[in-house]
Amino acid sequence: MQDFLEDIQEIIPKITKRKAYFLLCSIKGRVEKYWKFGIWKRDGHKFGISERQMQKFIALLRDYWYINKVAQVRGSRGFMCSLYKVSSVMKEFFNEIRGGIKTSNLTDRIKQFNISHNTFDYLRGYWVVKYTKCIIQDRYIVHKRAKGKYKDYIFDSEERKPITLFEFLRIYNNRTLIEQSRELGLIW
């Protein structure tokens, strides 16, 4: 696999190792979801590379026998798209990839974070208490329940919907989902 990454740098110098790794993680996700998967040159814009570079990357995968062409179908916009299967060598490489993030796994971790962290205790010091409500920036409200306990969700008064503690921290700190998850230690 190291030869493959070196050849990417020689043949397609504009694809950095990070972009190549991102492409391989995307292929790994497609393999886990589908038996046969489609990848074509017009997917290049999703990864920040041109169509020509994407076409060379796919050709390089085929030259190394990491993917095998199974069929060719017409896509939704009328363009032809090839369907591929991954070789056993590539499957072994996918097993070695560390740091790949599964969305379902991340979703479970976020749910667990919301369950394990009490909203009131976690946000102590962020808000002003008015009557039976804790108010943050005149927008976010945590209502008080009976027996003096606060609810486990935050109400967004502008959007008029309840949000979880994780969503509030993501909005409040102006972070993306991945950045906030890394900061809270949900992923590494």
Q: Residues 114-172: pLDDT tens digits?
A: 888 877 777 767 777 777 777 887 788 777 766 656 667 788 888 888 888 888 888 87
Strand order in the sheet with 67-74: 37-38, 80-86, 67-74
Q: Where in the chain is the domain with CATH 1.10.10.10?
A: 2-96
Q: Does domain 2-96 have CATH number 1.10.10.10?
A: yes
Quick check: 6 pLDDT over 60? yes
Average pLDDT, stretch 25-38? 84
If we measure between CA atoms, which residue out of 23, 79, 80, 32 comes closest to residue 56? 23
Average pLDDT, stretch 21-25? 81
Coil vs helix vs strand at 144: strand
Q: What's the Cα-to-Cα distance from 159 to each of 111, 140, 165, rounded to whole Å?
A: 22, 10, 16
CA angle 57, 62, 67 (to 5 degrees): 105
| Residue corresponding to tokens 């020509």 | 52
Cα first-last separation, the chain: 24
Q: Which two tokens stand for residue 169?
A: 């921290």
Q: Is 90 exposed, middle or buried (0-12, 13-18, 19+ CB in 10 A)?
A: buried
Q: What's the Cα-to-Cα distance from 20 to each of 58, 109, 122, 154, rounded to whole Å?
A: 11, 27, 39, 40
Query: Under CATH, which number does the domain 103-183 receive?
Result: 3.90.580
Q: Where in the chain is the domain with CATH 3.90.580?
A: 103-183
